[in-house]
Structures are given as C-alpha cells and as structure tokens.
Amino acid sequence: MIPIIDLLEQRVSSVLSELTGNPAPAVVRPSNNPKFGDYQANGVMGQAKKAKQNPRQLAEQVIAKLDVSEMCEPPQIAGPGFINFRLRPEWLSRQVSQAITDSQRLGIDPLADPPVTVVDFSSPNLAKEMHVGHLRSTIIGDVIARVLEFWYDAPEKIIRQNHVGDWGTQFGMLIAYIKRTHPEAIDDPTAFQIADLESFYQQAKKLFDDDATFKQEAYHETVALHNNEQATLKAWKYVVAESRTHCQKVYDQLNVRLNKDNERGESSYNDRLPDVIKDLHNAGMLVESDGAQCVFMDQYKNKDGDVLPLIVQKSDGAFLYATTDLAAVRYRTGDLKAQRIIYVTDARQKLHFDMVFSCARKAGWASEDITLEHVPFGSVQGDDGKPFKTRSGGTVKLKDLLDEAVLRAGDIVNEKNANLDDATKAKIAAAVGVGAVKYADLSNNLVSDYVFDWNKMLAMEGNTAPYMQYAYARVQSIFRKGDIDVDALVHSGHLVNLTEPEELTLGKLLLRYSEVIENVARDLRPHLLTTYLFDLAQAFSSFYANCPVLKAEGPTRTSRLLIAHLTAKTIHHGLSLLGIATIDQM
RNA sequence: GCGCCCGUAGCUCAACUGGAUAGAGUAUCGGUCUUCGAAACCGAAUGUUACAGGUUCGAAUCCUGUCGGGCGUACCA
C-alpha cells in the first residue's frame, strides 16, 4: 500500500508538471487544521510564481484535470492557492480493512533496493561499567537499526557495529593492577572475578594517578599489549570478557539488540592503523606538526584562525581515535561494502566526525555515493541542569538506573493492581520501568538536552510509555472479555466501516503509520514515532470512551473490533521499533 | 576570538524542514464511573516564537546584526 500522502503527491504533481511543463512537486502535507480537510497541496503557489501565473487560477486548472474522486471529496481551493483534500469515509474504511489483512507489515511497502547500512552505536569503554552517558547512543542507535531493518525489509543489509573501547592505556592500567593485586589470575583467570568493574577501575585509576611506579607498570603493559605479548594478551582477554558480560546484561535488560557478533572494538583495527598513516602519506595528505602526524583541511580552523589539524599519530608514535575511526571507515566501505554509515554519538563529537568524514572522502576511502551520517544528540541532565550524576556526584551506572526504574514501576503496579500474581507483576514492572526510561529519552528531539525525571517518565498521564502500554492493555482487555478469536476475526473477511467521528479520526491516523515510518527512517528522528504513537493512543482512548465495542451489535461490533485490533497491532509494532515491550494487562 | 547547536504558553516539549488562526502534555479550573480497565475521557484558560532589521504571496523556520545559554576548538574518546 502506498502512503496516502505519496498517493496524493504523485497524482497532484503529475498534473501540475503537465500544466507547467516542468517537474513540479505538489508538496502535499497533512493539514494542521481539520477544517482544511485531511491533506493539503502547497506546491501550486510556488509553481504559479515561477510561471508568473495567478496561483488560484493554476489551482483551478489542477483540480479540473485531477481525478482523485475514488478517495477524496471534491478538492477545495483555499487561501492564496492551497488545494485541500478530504478523504472519503468509504475509501478510508476499505484502506483500513486492507491494512488489517497484512499482519506482517501493516500495509507498509519496503524501500526498494536499500543500501547496505552500518549503524555504529553504543560503543562503551570496556574498561569501565556502562553508565548513564551510554544510554542515549545505545537506545537511539538500536531504534535506528530497528526502523531501518523494518523499512528495508532486508535485515542482512543492516550491520550493527559496537565500536567498543577495548584498547589503549586504560587496559594497560587494569592489567598492571591485576598483576599487582591478583597475580594468580594471570595464569588462571577463573581464580578471580571482578565483582564491581567500576570500583575496580577506580582503584586502578587512583593508583595510576598516585603511584609513579605503578604508572610505569601500566605503560609497560600497554606497550606489551600493543606488541601482542602473550601473558598481557591473556589478561587483556580476561578483562574484556568480564566487561562484556556486564555490558550484555545491560543490553538484555534494555532490550537492545547487541551481542558479541556486533562487537568490533578498537583493538580489531590495530593492525590496520599503520596503513592509514602510510596511505595518507602516499596521498600527500600527511603533514608533521609539532612532532605529530596531521591532516590539515582548509575548512576547519582552530581558535587562532589557523587551520585545525586532524591528528592521526601523536608525537610519541601512538595512534588516536581519529586513526581508528578512519580505519573503521575503510573497513566498512571496503570489507563490509557499506553504502551508508550512520554514527550515533553525542553532539560534542560533531567536529571530530566532520573532520574524519572529510578526510576519508579526500583520501578516497568513502566515495561521494557513500553516505556518511553523524546523528548527534544532546545530553542527559539532572534537575540542576548539569550532567546527570548520583547524589554524591558519581557517575550513574546504567545497571543501577534500570534496576531503580523497574523497582519504581513495581511499586506503582502494586498500588494500582495488587491482585495480580507476583510473576505477572514482575513482568509488568520490567516492561513499564525500562520502557519509561527509553520512551522518555526517545520522545525528545535528538539535539536537545533533557532533564532526567523519574516522576515524569513513569507518570501514567501524558506522552509516556505507560500511557501507551495502557492503551494497548485496554484493547487486549476487550478481546479477553469478549472472548474474541482474533485470527478468525481477521480472516473472516468482514470489513471496517468508519462512521463515528472518533472512528474516522482513528482510522486516518492508523493509515498514516507508513508515512511516519518513512519520515523516521529518512530523517533518523525517533521522536516523530513517539509523537505519532501518542496521537494514536489518544485517538484510541477517545474512541474507546465514545464507541462501545463489545456492546455494539452486528457489523458495527465487528468493525470496531477490527479497528481496535489494528490499533493494538500498530501500537505494538511502533513500540517494538522503539524496543519497548507491550503487556496484555498492567 | 572562531565554529556548531539552541532560545516557542508558568513548566516540559512539538510544529513533517517556507504554508493558513503556532499545537500537545503538564500544572490550574470545571464536567464525566450501576455501561468494554477513571492509569481514562470531555471542556475552559494560556503566546510580541529572545530582540531588531531583511528576503516574499506567506517566516518560529531562510539571511544579517544584537542579547542570552550549551558544547567544541593540537597530540583524551
């Protein structure tokens, strides 16, 4: 099924192009005011101006030639040259009926010939535990990957890459610390477990800062690591494996699809780094400055107005994250054959990625037909407007944050629905708690910072996960109470008939799902999806309050059951793209 | 200093990237449960879109300037 907006766009722009003799977009948009109908074409005014015509007259000519009679009431011309379309209830009813029969894709066509796409996200530093700073990249990246997987309808074309920090001085430091405190672990890693990776790291860091001898040991281990010395490598593998286990728990609890197969850490590019330098040198792009190897590109200036370097090798010979990122670009375009690479990192790294992209282009590692995108996002703040910290000022572990969310959700479930059994309550608490955290994050415009607020995200009123989950649970409750066989209903061949205002509003919204998915996929902005789902849940609540389902009779009852069913499916589907669970009762 | 992002209702945010009278939620006030889950619904009130110019049929959106905030700006990632 073609989205309604695209259908109208095609029809109107073809007539408009014919009339003007030039390709002319119709610029169809959903109307922002019901009195102007459901959709409006805004393109006539621009075209009239180009052709030095009267816009209203051009609009007259357009609707004289335009045939949309099967789907719309006769189009109306308004204002300076808008064309307004009101969809016919019969046509809407048929479209909704048709969407219901497509249980897999809800009537949404996949993108033709999608590009091989790498999504680089989460990418925590494995030397420490995941903290609140990793929340946004992890869940936003996961949503982007899920949305594209669905839109492409070709999961193999989405390659998730977890570019973890698993290399460098911090690991030398941890290895040196293990050798000091648990020498037996070097020979037998099972002899020792890191109970708390974060405090283990903090202890090592303290020693590193305070004890010059230890610092030397740490540097020694770092060099040994980079030289692939067996004993050090063994310890390194142990630390990384331990840390990965911590991460995996967080990913699982977050319902984020990442595992070891998606991991391609900094260490994996180690062998490729010298080639980056060599090839930049061969391309004549490498310049030594203050002992460091740099790439200078005119468009980037530093604070003195001089050209800003992209440093790819330090004066002591060590490589930097720019080097690794360049190697990663080469790996992704060369080995993975990526045609589109998406980086989900916070906005502060924008300059870095701009420079890396420019450098990769200039070096010929990413041709112009390969899309390189940085998806920047703002930070999570405490209610003081500063980066979110614990009361004592420490970093908030992601694990603790999620546990608290589940605990708080559990309290609410106990209060609202005490008679459920414990297992059900636990399931609800997990879905609601984690869903609330994710939804609160995803519902913000990416670029803005937001304040982390437990009460707001767990509130059952407003644009929150619990509100959406509640709307879903109410539909399920209808089907439970009415003892409805959903499969039989869907395959019965009965049709939807939208007549009441609430039914029409809901029906139109349901049919806009494909349009929204396209927008989210194109612009990589998850909050467009949360906004839509909230509108949908509100429209359903209104329908629910005004249009009795089980008490209705005959075709009306069937029709309303079908509408309720498609609403639940859409909410479930949308939330699943957000990585948020639905529950049948709450 | 320069660069990037931002400034919208008391508060938190939208506004499909130039469209019509700038919309939601929240808080506030009022109404709706013997009717499918009231964790809900319906209604009321809320604005010099930071400010000043400009571009045009039309600007929160684009351009210029000013003020205010966040971030970045050579060997951390």
Q: Which of A258, A277, A308 is the last residue of a domain?
A: A258
- Does residue A482 belong to any structural domain of this protein? no
Report pLDDT for A51.
87
State the residue for tokens 């539909």.
Answer: A475
Question: Measured CA to C1', what is the nucleotide nearest A542?
Answer: B41
Residues A29 and A173 in one domain: no
How many domains does chain A divide into?
3
The chain-wide mean pLDDT, for chain A, equals 93
Strands A39-41 and A286-289: unpaired
- Does residue A488 belong to any structural domain of this protein? no
CATH code of A342's domain: 3.40.50.620
- Does residue A425 belong to any structural domain of this protein? no
- Pick out residues 356-375 of chain A having their CB under 7 A from any atom of nucleic acid strand B: none
Closest CA-bearing residue to C1' of B23: A32
Q: Which of A321, A350, A381 is the last residue of a domain?
A: A381
Closest CA to A557 of A495, A502, A501, A509: A495
Report pLDDT for A387.
86
Report pLDDT for A184.
83
Report pLDDT for A33.
87
State the residue for tokens 């010979």.
Answer: A317
ipTM reported for the complex, 2 dp: 0.95
Question: Measured CA to C1', what is the nucleotide nearest A163?
Answer: B77
Residues A72 and A15 in one domain: yes
What letter does residue A262 receive in the DSSP assignment?
Answer: G
Q: What percent of chain A has pLDDT over 70?
A: 99
Task: Compute and round to an integer the Cα radius of gyration of chain A.
Answer: 28
Question: Measured CA to C1', what is the nucleotide nearest A479?
Answer: B36
Residues A317 and A284 in one domain: yes
- Edge-to-edge strands, sheet with A340-346: A158-161, A117-120, A340-346, A371-377
A524 contacts A342 by C-beta, under 8 angstroms: yes
- Pick out residues 192-231 of chain A having their CB under 7 A from any atom of nucleic acid strand B: none
Question: Measured CA to C1', what is the nucleotide nearest A324?
Answer: B77
- Comparing A490 with A304, which gets the higher pLDDT? A490
Residues A326 and A375 in one domain: yes
Residues A156 and A291 in one domain: yes
Residues A151 and A198 in one domain: no
Residues A56 and A186 in one domain: no
The pLDDT of residue A196 is above 90:
no
CATH code of A22's domain: 3.30.1360.70
Residues A332 and A298 in one domain: yes
- Does residue A497 belong to any structural domain of this protein? no
The pLDDT of residue A303 is above 70:
no
Does nucleic acid strand B have an atom less than 7 angstroms from the CB of A124? Answer: no
Closest CA to A121 of A155, A151, A158, A154: A158
Residues A202 and A330 in one domain: no
Compute the distance between CA of residue A91 and CA of residue A97 in angstroms, rounded to an integer: 10
Region label for A306, one of left (φ > 0), alpha (ψ between -120 and 50) or beta (otherwise)? beta
Q: Between A527-546 and A501-511, two packed helices, what is the crossing angle to 10 degrees?
A: 160
Residues A290 and A362 in one domain: yes
Report pLDDT for A183.
85
Query: CA torsion, points A237, A243, A248, A249, in degrees to nearest 10?
Result: 140
Question: Which domain, by its residues, includes A174?
Answer: 169-258
Report pLDDT digits (tens) over A504-562: 999 999 999 999 999 999 999 999 999 999 999 999 999 999 999 999 999 999 999 99
Q: Which of A207, A240, A258 is the last residue of a domain?
A: A258
- Does residue A272 belong to any structural domain of this protein? yes
Does nucleic acid strand B have an atom less than 7 angstroms from the CB of A292? Answer: yes
Report pLDDT for A195.
77
- Does residue A44 belong to any structural domain of this protein? yes
- Does residue A333 belong to any structural domain of this protein? yes
Report pLDDT digits (tens) over A143-191: 999 999 999 999 999 999 999 999 988 999 999 999 999 888 777 767 7
- pLDDT level of residue A383 (50, 70, 90 thresholds): confident
Closest CA to A201 of A174, A219, A180: A174
The pLDDT of residue A225 is above 80:
yes
Q: Output the DSSP codes for A19-44.
A: HHTS-----EEE-SSGGG-SEEE-HH
Report pLDDT digits (tens) over A32-60: 888 899 999 999 999 998 888 899 999 99
Question: If you count them, how many residues does chain A have?
Answer: 586
Residues A39 and A182 in one domain: no
The pLDDT of residue A237 is above 70:
yes
Chain B: positions less than 7 Å from a protein CB are: 1-6, 12-17, 19-21, 23-27, 35-37, 39-42, 56-58, 70-77
Distance A485 CA to B6 C1' (A): 52
Q: Output the DSSP codes for A225-265.
A: HHTT-HHHHHHHHHHHHHHHHHHHHHHHHHT----GGGB--
Residues A174 and A151 in one domain: no
Distance A329 CA to B5 C1' (A): 26
What's the whole-number mean pLDDT along residues A126-148? 95
- Pick out residues 416-455 of chain A having their CB under 7 A from any atom of nucleic acid strand B: 416-417, 443-445, 447-451
A415 contacts A494 by C-beta, under 8 angstroms: no
- Does residue A312 belong to any structural domain of this protein? yes
- pLDDT level of residue A459 (50, 70, 90 thresholds): confident
